[in-house]
Structure 1
Amino acid sequence: MAGTREYEQDYVDACRSRIESQVAVFAEVARSARDHGDADVSGLEGALESLEYEYFNNMLIVLDGYFADRRRDVRAPGGSALDEVRVLARSLMENGGTVMADPAVPLDPARSVLGLEVGSAVTLTLQQYRRISDAFLHEIERRDAAPQG
């Protein structure tokens, strides 16, 4: 199966930096929106929640895209963060945001990072995105990072 076997650490670090920057931008926007003084913001929390889900669901697709050329033929039993991101990204793009079964990548929710089951809605929060992106990048570094030298 064709695909990238390894990534330079500089590339992984640059991806991590972009992720951290994008998370910080969202947090700053949310913080600024909530710092409203005496204004009537009755719909603000619901709007921020919807924005958070949309933003981090899309960021998950971006995360998968950073490593789209990665070899996908090496899998851990029950799945890994790499497999979980793949399934969730496909679910967002192809299944309306509902976790879909992928016979090629069976995931055990009890062993997965986010614990989402088939049929669950993918509505990622900032904290969930941090957890899955951290686990994903750690797996990339452990499995696919080029040796430093």
Structure 2
Amino acid sequence: MLGMKEYEQDYIDACRSRVETQVVMFHEVAQAARDHGDADVSHLEGALESLEYEYFNNMLIVLDGYFVHRLRGVEGKDGNALNEVRVLARSLMENGGTVMADPQIRLDPAHSILGLEVGAPITLTLQQYRRISDAFLREIESKFSRND
């Protein structure tokens, strides 16, 4: 596939809808598990925390995958949300879930969405995923949206 310099707004909206559905689904499952009063839930919170990290780390890879062919020239290299997702997804896939540096991107933790530094473990929570996915999709709309 060729690099993409534009995405149709309908496609962006559909991706945003899938992201929201996935967030709501996780929240509902976690809440249902917590509300199940007659089960032994002594290990539930630890299990839900581990599931949350795995789920949202994987959802970050999926989010990047929706727009994986975006052109870097349009994306920029200034440490924006698109850059942050690119670096984090690559770190999850290639560096065991530890943030790695990308010499082509100026990603400053002090100005990034999640504030993760090189060498930090990536363990996304629902709230962190919501923040990064919202910022990412706003940036996609700003730089890549095509309204026909």
TM-score calculated relative to the size of structure 1: 0.95
Structure 2 CA distance for aligned equivalents of residues 135 and 68 of structure 1:
16
Pairwise CA RMSD? 1.0
1:16 aligned partner: 16
Match of 2:35 in 1: 35
Q: CA deviation at 1:53?
A: 0.2
> C-alpha offsets along residues 25-46 of structure 1, whole Å, 9 cap, x if unaligned?
1001100100121422110000
**Aligned-partner Cα distance in 2 for 1:144–1:89:** 20
- In the TM superposition, structure 1's runs of 4+ consecutive aligned residues that sit over 2 Å from their partners are none
- Structure 1 residue 76: deviation in Å? 4.4
Q: Which residue of 2 aligns with 1:144?
A: 144
Equivalent pairs, count: 146
Cα offset for 1:72? 1.1
Alpha carbons 2:77, 2:106 under 8 Å: kept: no
TM-score using structure 2 length = 0.95
**Contact 2:5–2:70 at 8 Å: present in 1 too?**
yes
> What is aligned with 2:98?
98
In structure 2, runs of 5+ residues without a counterpart are: none
Percentage of identical aligned residues: 75
Structure with the higher fraction of residues in helix conformation: 2
Shift of 1:73: 2.4
Unaligned runs of 5+ in 1: none
Tell me the distance in 1 between the aligned counterparts of 2:72 and 2:49: 33
